[in-house]
Amino acid sequence: MKKTEIVLILLVAVIIGVIMSLTFNASTYITFADAEKQMGKEFTVIGELNKEKDILFDPRLNLLTFFAEDSLQNQRKVFYHDAKPQDFERSEKITMTGFATDSGFVARTILMKCPSKYNEQQSIQHDTTTSPTY
């Protein structure tokens, strides 16, 4: 074998290895119950904020605690060790990446989907452009 062929085979093997590692490290969307089956392993859970229960932020500990409900209506207490996101109470959906513990779900990152001001403007425009027919 020529040196170029050996280098080419090694390059292909490295590329395959990188692709495989990225695939296996990809985050998986699951429910709270599934995350509890593998405590300590990091997963991503999509849920909704339970606005009827307390949302507490302790600035001394930099700890936000709240209750969230996943797609199967499993409700868990969530611990987030970072600043409280702006307009947190207005969020529609919360994407939480973290791990399950005995006391709840520890979120390392939180992404929120808030109601868009453009949706509100569209509904206002729709109401004003619709005129009754006589």
Reported as a single tens digit per residue, the pLDDT across 3-19 is: 888 888 999 999 988 88
CATH fold, domain 28-116, is OB fold (Dihydrolipoamide Acetyltransferase, E2P) (2.40.50)
pLDDT tens for each residue of 101-119:
999 999 999 999 877 655 5
CB 66 within 8 A of CB 49: yes
Domain ranges of the chain: 28-116
Instruction: Quote the distance between the C-alpha of residue 65 and its chain's center.
Output: 16
Handedness of CA 85, 91, 97, 102 (dihedral sign): positive
Handedness of CA 63, 66, 71, 75 (dihedral sign): positive
Q: How confident is the model at residue 91 (pLDDT cuts 50, 70, 90)?
A: confident
For the whole prediction, is pTM greater than 0.75? no
Helix (H, G, I), strand (E, B) or coil at 98: strand
H helices present in 1-134, as ranges: 3-24, 32-37, 117-129
| Nearest residue to 106 via CA among 45, 34, 51, 16 | 45
